[in-house]
Amino acid sequence: MRRPTITGLVAGVVFVIGGLTWVREVAPPAPQLLVAWLAVLAVAGAWLPGAANQVTLTRAYLAAPALVYSLVPEGLLPLAAVVTLAGLTDVVDGAIARRLERPTRLGGGLDPVVDGVFFGALALGLAAGQAYPAWLAATVVVRYGLPAAVGAGLLLLGRRLELSHTPFGQASTLLIGVLLGGVALLRGLGQDTRLLLAVTEVLIPVAVLATFANLYWANRRAFGRGSGGR
């Protein structure tokens, strides 16, 4: 039976302390739910091996401030900083995995799930704060939720999946971060977001469709009838 790792326990303590400090200083709405989210992540993260996975999990912790800051215009400047920090963790976790640790299927599967949690919270918050249409937020949620659901189903059927970044997947995640962060930044600065929003409404759906096609092609054998992952 797998036991909690030292790295996971230490990282969980650090993240919870940092999160509780943020909750106390910012006094966001529904603080009990945010504290519960921190606790759930700390418990789950305690079993994750390796520093790279802990850096990846940072984006799930950052989903809480991303949601809170995206709800109101005055929070959009700190939101831009949160999005930037999340982007940095996406670069750093891969570098750590390649240089200090051997990349694993666990890490490959965790990365898109955590991206979905972060960008889903960001998209839903911005839509609730009327920064852009609700359908665009739903598109971002589907971008991460649908592959996760389909992948889970295929794994339950015993199919072998390619749990690694695809080129279009990486590109779409970068594009979503830049465009959503850009909308938040311009809105926080009181600038006109109509042009960037129009570009966002075109590029994100196109990127999502391209990602789905790329994911299907990379895992086409797993979709084969009776393939059993072979």
Q: Please, which pLDDT band fits residue 228 given cuts at 50, 70 and 90?
A: very low
Query: What percentage of the chain's residues is helix, strand, coil (to nearest 5)?
Result: 80, 0, 20
- Its CATH class, for the domain covering 50-223, is mainly alpha
Domain ranges of the chain: 1-49, 50-223
Radius of gyration of the chain (CA): 18
Q: Which long-range contacts (CB under 8 A, 24 or more apart) does 39-44 make?
A: 41/12, 41/15, 42/12, 42/13, 42/15, 42/16, 43/12
pLDDT tens digits, one per residue of 7-57: 999 999 999 999 999 999 999 989 999 999 999 999 999 999 889 999 999
pTM, two decimals, is: 0.85
Question: What pLDDT shows up at residue 41?
Answer: 96
Local confidence band at 186 (pLDDT 50, 70, 90 cut-offs): confident
Per-residue pLDDT tens over the stretch 74-123: 787 888 889 889 989 988 887 887 787 666 677 777 888 898 899 999 89
List of residues 6+ apart from 121 with CB closer than 8 A: 63, 64, 66, 67, 70
pLDDT digits (tens, 9 = 90+) for 111-158: 888 988 999 998 999 899 888 889 999 999 999 888 888 877 877 777
DSSP states of 152-201: HHHHHTT-----S--HHHHHHHHHHHHHHHHHHHHHHTT---HHHHHHHH
pLDDT of residue 101: 61
